[in-house]
């Protein structure tokens, strides 16, 4: 959420007749008119900021608006920095996959999960392979069994149309 997205009314923009005023150190100054509150704010070289417009009467605070915006931007930047984006990596298997290819795919899954990503394992059934979805299910179960020490099954293997999908997540996530 961007600071400019939630614009607060400041100083002369506030047109309400009665306002509840809070000083910059959190002290209640009471209910007064906008002009009186603006006068107090100017005496202290600060801004009058409407922080709660839906309250009756609206609540305004006397504060340094520039410093407030700077602090909010800094807090948002810090929150974005601590955020971890989880990607979903896809591994495609086939019904007639060979053992070495299978082991390679398990190694890829292990690497993806070690880096904190989720893994989507899929098998696409072509033509007559649709008659043998049980073979695909066996391969999926074997894949899940191979990944059991470093991953947990988030969503078990399920046939959706011509594709069978299964989701794996890092073990610590569950």
Q: 10-residue block means of pLDDT along the chain (174 residues)?
A: 59 83 86 86 87 85 88 89 83 92 93 90 91 91 91 90 92 59
Residue 53 has what pLDDT? 80
Residue 83 φ then ψ, to 5°: -80, 135
Residue 4 has what pLDDT? 44
Residue 73 φ then ψ, to 5°: -65, -40
Residue 46 has what DSSP assignment? Answer: -
Fold exhibited by the domain 3-80: Ubiquitin-like (UB roll) (3.10.20)
Residue with tokens 């293997």, as numbered in its chain: 157
Fold exhibited by the domain 88-173: Translation Initiation Factor IF3 (3.30.110)
Residue 172 has what pLDDT? 66
Query: Do 67 and 96 contact (CB within 8 A), yes or no?
Result: no
Domain 3-80 and domain 88-173, same fold? Reply is no
């Amino acid at each position: 959420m961007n600071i400019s997205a939630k614009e607060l009314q400041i100083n002369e923009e506030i047109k309400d007749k009665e306002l509840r005023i809070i000083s910059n150190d959190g002290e209640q100054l009471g209910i007064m008119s906008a002009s009186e509150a603006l006068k107090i704010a100017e005496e202290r070289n600060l801004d009058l900021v409407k922080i709660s417009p839906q309250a009756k009467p609206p609540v305004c605070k006397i504060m340094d608006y520039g410093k407030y915006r700077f602090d909010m931007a800094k807090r948002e930047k810090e929150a974005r920095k601590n955020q971890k984006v989880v990607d979903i990596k896809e591994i495609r298997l086939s019904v007639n996959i060979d053992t070495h290819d299978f082991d390679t795919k398990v190694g890829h899954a292990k690497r993806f999960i070690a880096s904190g990503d989720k893994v989507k394992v899929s098998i696409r059934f072509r033509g007559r392979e649709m008659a043998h979805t049980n073979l695909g299910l066996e391969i999926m179960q074997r894949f899940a069994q191979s990944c059991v020490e470093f991953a947990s099954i988030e969503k078990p293997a399920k046939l959706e149309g011509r594709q069978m999908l299964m989701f794996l997540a890092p073990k610590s996530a569950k």
